[in-house]
Amino acid sequence: MAVFTPVTDDEARAFLADYPLGGFGSLHPIAEGVENTNYRLETAPSEKAAARHVLTLFEARTDAASLPFCLGLTDHLAAGGFPAPRPVRRTDNGWVGTLNGRPAAVIEWLPGAWLRDPSSAEIEAAGAMLARLHLEAEGFPVERANPVGPVVWRDLADRSATAAKGEDRDILDGVEAALKRLGDPWAEDLPRGPIHADYFPDNVLFENGRVSGVIDFYFGCTDLLAYDLAIALSAWGFDGSGVPIPGAFEAFRRGYETVRPLSPAEANALPRLGEAAAIRFTLTRLHDRIFHDPTKLVMPKDPGAFFRRAAWWREAA
Ligand SMILES: Nc1ncnc2c1ncn2[C@@H]1O[C@H](COP(=O)(O)OP(=O)(O)OP(=O)(O)O)[C@@H](O)[C@H]1O
Ligand SMILES: N[C@@H](CCO)C(=O)O
């Protein structure tokens, strides 16, 4: 369960005093996610605001300085009709307060649920929605460097090397070899802009076969659009253990290219960016497994499942 920083009803009630949301109703921990603390927050219904929201407390990987980008991008997209959740403005007009020592925000609740076993049509719809995100985010004026770019990979690998054992050590050795081989996958001058950077199935909500919400923009940053596609293909094209799902990769790419066709240079770069994406998620998962704090109610994810994707991308090249 992703509650790193517990919040009591009284603490939430006091926090809500700075929001135009009516009275406090109830607070329910959300049992998903591995990065931030999330609660479902019910308030007394009013004419001005819906009664259900998400209360998010931002943990270590989402620093307060990045929130104007992340929440601003979400708000910018939602204002244009894209199904992203709008952050709620406080009475001082800002989006971010402090709760139990963490930056915290109240976010619109979107309908739907993420799909553990999406159909080919649903995967295609998810691909089309990512392309729409890229097109509709164009013109968003704030920039943010990738918080998990190559410099951070190096840090994660070095820190992991101090304690990796057994399977983790083997993965780390493989990652080091991949990093040497990859060089700089960003070397080419490809189209850039705001990207989601964590467009996994659990961040895309569906209702009645249609995408009803794209959530969790907290790794969002300014980077290559084709890298975002490579991340998403790595997430949607394979099962939980890293084995390709027949047709899924093609369905996602087809959906994406229906809305935003890749340039030949982007298509050529995709396998290298895919391997880079696989290494990025291998490293965060590896680091989080090695340094897992058993007192936190969160289950570390399997780095091996992403490391296997790196080999697949290499063969695709
Ligand atoms: N705006 C929203 N509307 C509806 N449900 C939401 C919303 N935001 C979050 N959730 C629910 O909370 C869960 C966790 O949220 P989120 O993905 O933002 O957490 P996280 O810790 O950042 O996760 P991740 O591990 O994907 O980085 C989601 O899977 C979803 O069930
Ligand atoms: N989507 C990430 C977790 C959130 O950073 C992963 O599956 O490793």
- Calpha distance 210→205 (Å, rounded): 8
Asked if residue 231 and residue 84 are part of one domain, the reply reads no
Asked if residue 189 and residue 52 are part of one domain, the reply reads no
Instruction: Tell how far the Cα of 215 is from the centroid of ligand 1, in angstroms.
Output: 6
- Calpha distance 300→312 (Å, rounded): 23
User: How many structural domains is the chain composed of?
Assistant: 2
The list of the chain residues with pLDDT below 50 reads: 1
How many Cβ atoms sit within 10 Å of the Cβ of residue 169? Answer: 15
Q: What ipTM is given for this predicted complex?
A: 0.91
- Calpha distance 317→309 (Å, rounded): 13
- In a mutational test of the pocket of ligand 1, which residue from 27, 36, 38 has the highest number of ligand atoms less than 8 Å from its CB? 38
pLDDT tens for residues 201-245? Answer: 999 999 999 999 999 999 999 999 999 999 999 999 999 999 999
Q: With contact defined as beta carbons under 8 Å apart, do 243 and 287 qualify?
A: no
**Domain, as residue range, for 88:** 9-108
At residue 1, the pLDDT reads: 47
User: E strand or H helix at 256, and its extent?
Assistant: helix 248-259
Q: State the pTM of this model.
A: 0.95
Domain annotation covers residue 28: yes
At residue 297, the pLDDT reads: 62
Instruction: Tell how far the Cα of 32 is from the centroid of ligand 1, in angstroms.
Output: 7
Q: What CATH number corresponds to the domain at position 154?
A: 3.90.1200.10
User: 7 CB under 6 A from ligand 1?
Assistant: no
Q: What are phi and psi of 107, to 5 degrees?
A: -125, 145
